[in-house]
Amino acid sequence: MSLYFDAVNILTEPASGGSFKSRIYSARDLRAKPAQIYALIIEAAKWDIVLTDVIDRAGLLDAERKLSPLLALLLVHDHLISKNGIAAPAAHTIRQAVERHKVRLRAEFTKARVRRGCASVEQFKAAILKEKREAAGPNDFIYPPLGAREQYPFLIGGPDAHNLHRLPASELAPEGDDRKSQRLLYVDPHIPDLVAVPYGADFTSSAAYKNGEIILQDKASCFPAYLMLGDRGPNDPWQGDLVDGCAAPGNKTTHLASLLAKQQKDKRRQIISMDASRMRSKTLQKMVTMAGADPTVTVLQGQDFLALDPMDERFEKVTGLLLDPSCSGSGIIGRDDVPQLTLPKAAASKAPNPKGQGGKKRKRGDDKDEVEEPKPKVASGALNTSPSDENDIATDSVDQERLTKLSNLQARIVEHALSFPTATHVTYSTCSIHLIENEAVVERVLASDVAKEGGWRLLRRDEQPSGLRKWTHRGVRRDRETGENAESDATPATVDDLSDEDLEACLRCWSGDAEGLGGFFVAGFVRDPKFVSAITKAPGSKTKAESKAKTPESKAKAPKSKKAKKEPVQNKKVAQKVVQEKEDEEDDDDWDGFSD
């Protein structure tokens, strides 16, 4: 029974940071399994317009005054549609409150099906999806309308499923869907192997999804790995190993693995992937395994990227580093992303709550008779969720001090990446909209000694992979006016030291435009490989990198250690600080991978 009360609480509590799904998985006071709660809400949302109609016509809420509209909707969903009925003992008050009306409820459900001319429940489900799709508007097929992302997932092939476009439409379309004969996948024009699927396509039950052959991923999240590995193929494969320094839950790591696998059929390069948070590292490992990327990816669990010694032998072949560190998450859309359900009408004479909020708070163990819950933020409309699980710290207001701290850490992380002696490519990304975390970090990094000494510059637009070259949203010189910024007292930041070409090199995504994405930023840093060999191997070079680099002789003498070497003292303080921050964040979002 706790399942329904937990679901009601989740749907009615004020949204904190992270996506709806991640909030369920990280909630502490749930008694039912998070996966069950999530599934109940998602399934009930698919049927809400019918269930509401059935409940209203059956007069359930007038007869059962203790049932709130939301609780009734969830219970009636399981009563009519779930194979096992309501998940509560037969004698439970709430179950009885619904089952007392089973004849009427069943009759109204059947009438609703027959009115739509459907012979089976599957057909009925498809008809409802179609109704909802039509209500959502004509553009639903292309990209997700804001706030309905999880219904229009972006899919990307996993390491061993390079061509998702071949996936049979029958795997994706719901049974009885009248679009089976139509084109069901929208092939993305910017990212290879990326497709959007139409409303109601239940790919989560497809074998390809369960096997990790396809991965649900936000489009913007695909930019960094593609920016790094580009349009190469087997004739022009990536040379060297890769590091993903801030990798959990693993979207970009698995995308890197997928792109690498496409290029290198025989000898696979390695990806060393890590996250400072131990808890999130477990999710990372799980996602890597599910994607079949274990042969390519080594996960360093709980590893602080800043504590890595770039001179460690493990990294001697590293040519590319992908950095997607913690950020404000201000680009994540649908923060208040509780599913929006159409609800039945409350009983007419129900006593209003004194605070105007609906009922009393339920205590643990007392769910036998307490059946009202706070008024949900529910309305008619589509399911509204966001795939923001990889980011963890979105807040509702601009905290300049926090942004400054984050940007300091972000700049330090990118500069550390630039200090890897054999690196030629580094990408930096955030899902923040703030200049201070994006262009301003790039500006600082380019001005740093490590960038200047190492010959680093930005990967120009004309050098970017073909799909991203076409992307029109580019870096900005000053913060855009947003609701959040408007409330901030801070003077708008500007970047004056970046050239127009530098800004063209930066890629931006904005929420609220026709692209249908959240806010995102990515930039690529590159340097000429000849310059790399000069700083690591040229005799007499005075660079820091070279002064620390091992000579071939010292390498021959030193035992080949698999363990990280003692970190530089300067990094140690940073490392301790970051690890502390990470431990503070251990309770943040976890992501349950694609193993529903």
| Among 129, 247, 321, 445, interactor with ligand SAM by CB under 6 A | 247
Q: How far is the CB of 248 from ligand SAM (least distance, A)?
A: 4
Q: Is 300 in the site for ligand SAM (CB under 6 A)?
A: no
Residue 375: how many CA atoms within 13 Å on its side-chain side? Answer: 11
Q: At 395, is the secondary structure helix, strand, or coil?
A: coil
Q: How far is the CB of 469 from ligand SAM (least distance, A)?
A: 22
Closest among 67, 15, 12, 83 to 41, alpha carbons compared: 12
Q: Is 248 in the site for ligand SAM (CB under 6 A)?
A: yes
* Residue 304 marked ligand-binding: yes
Report the 3 state secondary structure along 194-247. EEECCCCCCHHHCHHHHCCCEEECCCHHHHHHHHHHCCCCCCCCCCCEEEECCC
Q: Is 543 in the site for ligand SAM (CB under 6 A)?
A: no
Q: Is 285 in the site for ligand SAM (CB under 6 A)?
A: no
Q: How far is the CB of 419 from ligand SAM (least distance, A)?
A: 14
Strand ranges (E), 245-342: 271-275, 297-301, 318-323
* Separation CA 446–CA 245 (nearest Å): 19
* Residue 275 marked ligand-binding: yes
Return the C-alpha torsion angle 32, 33, 36, 41, nearest 10.
60
Q: Which residues pair with 216 in a beta bridge?
A: 155
* Per-residue buried b or exposed e for 25-46, using 16+ beta carbons within 10 Å of the residue's own CB: bbeeebebebebbbbbbbbbbb
- When the beta carbons of 398 and 413 are compared against ligand SAM, the nearer one is 413
Token pair recorded at residue 554: 């010292």
Binding window for ligand SAM (CB under 6 A); candidates: 166-174, 182-190, 193-201, 249-257: 249-257
Query: In this structure, are residues 388 and 22 in contact, taking their beta carbons and an 8 Å threshold?
Result: yes
Q: Is 275 in the site for ligand SAM (CB under 6 A)?
A: yes
Neighbouring residues of 114: CB distance < 8 A, sequence distance ≥ 6: none
* Separation CA 244–CA 271 (nearest Å): 7
327 is catalytic: no
Applying the rule CB under 6 A, the residues between 306 and 335 that interact with ligand SAM are: 306, 324-326
Binding window for ligand SAM (CB under 6 A); candidates: 143-151, 153-161, 246-254, 312-320: 246-254
Binding window for ligand SAM (CB under 6 A); candidates: 302-310, 358-366, 534-542, 550-558: 302-310
Q: Is 274 in the site for ligand SAM (CB under 6 A)?
A: yes
Query: In this structure, are residues 526 and 418 in contact, taking their beta carbons and an 8 Å threshold?
Result: no
Q: Is 251 in the site for ligand SAM (CB under 6 A)?
A: yes
Q: How far is the CB of 542 from ligand SAM (least distance, A)?
A: 29
Q: Considering 222, 327, 431, 509, which one is annotated as catalytic?
A: 431
Q: How far is the CB of 1 from ligand SAM (least distance, A)?
A: 35
Please tell me whether the peptide bond between 174 and the residue prior to it is cis, using omega within 30 degrees of 0: no
| Among 48, 108, 140, 304, interactor with ligand SAM by CB under 6 A | 304
Q: Is 286 in the site for ligand SAM (CB under 6 A)?
A: no
- When the beta carbons of 200 and 325 are compared against ligand SAM, the nearer one is 325
| Among 276, 318, 341, 347, interactor with ligand SAM by CB under 6 A | 276
Q: Give the C-alpha distances (Å, rounded to integers) separating 498 from 9, 429, 431, 468, 503.
A: 48, 17, 21, 20, 7
| Among 391, 419, 424, 536, interactor with ligand SAM by CB under 6 A | 391
- When the beta carbons of 109 and 428 are compared against ligand SAM, the nearer one is 428
Closest among 171, 148, 105 to 382, alpha carbons compared: 148
Binding window for ligand SAM (CB under 6 A); candidates: 298-306, 366-374, 437-445, 450-458: 298-306
* Residue 125 marked ligand-binding: no
- When the beta carbons of 109 and 226 are compared against ligand SAM, the nearer one is 226
Point out which residues bind ligand SAM (CB under 6 A). Answer: 221, 245-252, 274-277, 280, 304-306, 324-326, 390-391, 413, 578, 582
Annotated binding-site residue numbers for S-adenosyl-L-methionine: 246-252, 275, 304, 324
Give the residue numbers annotated as catalytic, written as ranges.
Answer: 431
